[in-house]
Amino acid sequence: MTTQTIRFIRRGQTVALGNVPPDRTLLQVLREDLGACGTKEGCGEGDCGACTVVLAEPENGHLRFRAINSCIRLAHSVNGMALWTVEDLAQADGSLHPAQEAMVQCHGSQCGFCTPGFVMSLFGMYQNSVCQGQSIRRSDAQEALSGNLCRCTGYRPILDAAQQMEQLPAVRIDEAALLQHLEQLALIRSAAEPDFAYKSPRSLDELTSARAADPGAQIVAGCTDVGLWVTKMHQHFDRVLDVTQVAELRQIEPHANYLQIGAAVTLHDAYTALVADRPQLHNFASRFAGLPVRNSGTLGGNVANGSPIGDSMPLLIALGASVVLANTHGTRELPLEDLYTGYRTNVMAADEVLAWIKVPRPNGDFMRVYKISKRFDDDISAVCLAINLTITDGSVTRASIGAGGVAATPVRAVQTEAALTGQPWTLATAHAAAAALRAEFQPISDMRASAAYRSEVLGNLLQRFWLESQGQTQINLAHFDVEACV
């Protein structure tokens, strides 16, 4: 099979690269083929942010900028986009971009290895905030930089730099010219052809036809997991099917009773929509990896991957979400928890793809989601627990609980739900339900936590849920007010 020529815009010019293998990463292409060695390889798994670059593509007549990890992003996925690396920010006369100058003025760099990644995340913030007339709050900067790790600075000067950018002379991209250039680039992009090793269909019909024709091709979206198979497990994929350009799967459609989220919607956009419906999910959403991972990864990819420690699934199970699978013959819908048959295995036929996730709208429920991990930001859960109760006249009329990290698949805690339903919502009921939850699963011990710890934490979290339902907030670090305790 041949590969399609990759074309993207960098420094105002079209870059065209031929004969790029379908499983070659963007970082490899940047460093080894284009000599853009300012973009660093740190962890090779999208965890440290040293490899951060910024992509832009048209969205509703404007440019949408996203900072992403290039180490786990496949090079072909940026076909038709605009790309910036740290080498591209300084002006022609050598003057620094505000993202760079602010780092200098605030002493935000020490050893310097992580600095290019931080600068690119700052550049993404600059484009999405300062250039849109919005000030950068420190809390916003902290969330936006959660995917960039630094061993030297302690982060304070880098957060200072994020807020300093808007005080510096403005530097703006000619978005109108770039949009026109991207439109011209789109005209020369070939439609998906059967002999291409990397296929990127534009419609659901094209996607299902391509899947039926080649069920052995590796499906990818943001590659935040498949990328690890390439960089860490050294797997090779001769044929890749990319779902991220399928128009129908890039949409979020609000309906009266549910929110329909396309499988190719990024995690950042999907969680933004979920938080708009349920503001209490904000803290959990901001802890789902770092922003560059959420900017690349998709909700459909997270769900289809089915990792027992994936954070989306416990939440979606508790919300009563369903998934819609599609092939050339049509679609079928099933509860999300029924998708999985075992560790990273599911009921999808060889010719099926995950198309949509349907999430019921709020209906007077009380909900919390808890993520337990060794590191607060940008870390994988040891335990994830989502609890969603409807309480009427002091009794639990409906209970929906999703759990991760406690079984081979994301699971619904059906026994605990039964122990709660119909019971008065009292401390005694919470204690009984906590005991039921601890007994319901037999988790394993691994590098993240022991089995005993996981079981104990499950029950403790349900008791914490009870306390929060009674109005207590000081037990939650996200709302902990140090001054109030002095």
* Alpha-helix runs per DSSP H in 62-174: 98-105, 115-128, 138-144, 156-164
**Inter-residue contact 22 to 198 (CB < 8 Å):** yes
Quick one: pLDDT at residue 32?
96
| R_g of the chain, CA atoms, integer Å | 23
Instruction: Show the tokens assigned to 153.
Output: 């600075």
Contact at 8 Å (CB) between 210 and 352? Answer: no
Confidence at 482, pLDDT banded by 50, 70, 90: very low
Distance between CA atoms of residues 244 and 252, nearest Å: 14
Q: pLDDT digit string (tens) for 56-86?
A: 999 988 999 999 999 999 999 999 999 999 9
| pLDDT of res. 1 | 64
What is the per-residue DSSP string for 75-105? GGGGTTSEEE-GGG-S-TTSPPPHHHHHHHH
Beta strands in 243-352 (DSSP E): 252-254, 258-262, 322-327, 330-335, 340-342, 345-346
Given a contact cutoff of 8 angstroms between Cβ atoms, the answer to whether 73 and 221 are in contact is no
| C-beta of residue 389 within 8 angstroms of C-beta of residue 398 | yes
Give the helix/strand (H/E) hosting 395: strand 395-404
Report the pLDDT averaged over residues 124-149: 94
Q: What percent of the chain has pLDDT over 70?
A: 96
DSSP secondary structure letters along 399-456? EEEEEESSSSS-EE-HHHHHHHTTSB-SHHHHHHHHHHHHHH--PPP-SS--HHHHHH
DSSP state of 192: P
Report the largest interatomic distance among the alpha carbons of the chain, rounded to a whole angstrom: 71
pLDDT confidence bin for 485, thresholds 50/70/90: very low
β-pair type (198-199, 240-242): parallel
Give, for 366, the enclosing helix (H) or strand (E): strand 366-372
pLDDT, one tens digit per residue, over 333-356 is 999 999 999 999 999 999 999 999
Residue bearing tokens 């991207």: 182
DSSP, res 472: -
Which DSSP category does 27 fall into?
A: H
Query: What phi and psi values does residue 326 have, to the nearest 5 degrees?
Result: -135, 145
User: Hey, which of 3-7, 181-185, 259-263 has the most confident mean pLDDT?
Assistant: 259-263
pTM confidence score: 0.94
Q: What is the pLDDT of residues 8-63, one digit of tens each?
A: 999 999 999 999 999 999 999 999 999 999 999 999 999 899 999 999 999 988 99
Whether 423 has a pLDDT exceeding 70, the answer reads yes
Instruction: Read off the pLDDT of residues 276-332 as tens digits, 9 standing for 90 and up.
Output: 999 999 999 998 889 999 999 999 999 999 999 999 999 999 999 999 999 999 999
Confidence of residue 154 (pLDDT cuts 50, 70, 90): confident
* Average per-residue pLDDT for the chain: 93
CB 253 within 8 A of CB 259: yes
Q: Nearest-CA neighbor of 296 among 41, 52, 20, 12?
A: 52
User: Per the structure block, which two tokens stand in for 376?
Assistant: 């607060």
Of the chain, the percentage scoring pLDDT greater than 90 comes to 87
pLDDT of residue 364: 85
- For the chain, domains (ranges, CATH) are 6-167 (3.10.20.30), 366-477 (3.30.390.50)
Q: What local confidence, expressed as pLDDT, does residue 3 receive?
A: 79
HSE value, Cβ hemisphere, 13 Å, CA-based, for 136: 27
For residues 145-176, b (16+ Cβ closer than 10 Å) or e, as one string? bbbbbbeebebebbbbbbbbbbebeebebebe
Number of neighbours of residue 467 by Cβ within 10 angstroms:
15
Q: Is 192's pLDDT higher than 60?
A: no
Locus of tokens 């002999």: 195
What is the rounded average pLDDT of the residues 433-446?
95
Mean pLDDT value of segment 105-127: 96
> What number is the average pLDDT over the span 375-404?
93
Instruction: At 13, list the tokens.
Output: 């010019």
Nearest-angstrom CA–CA distance, 116 and 49: 9
Let me know how many helices (H) and strands (E) the chain has, helices first: 16, 19
Please state, in angstroms and rounded to a whole number, the distance separating the CA atoms of residues 353 and 46: 25
- In what order do the strands lie in the sheet containing 13-17? 13-17, 6-10, 82-84, 52-59, 62-69
Going from the C-alpha of 98 to that of each of 82, 115, 150, 167, 171, the distances in angstroms are 20, 14, 20, 9, 7
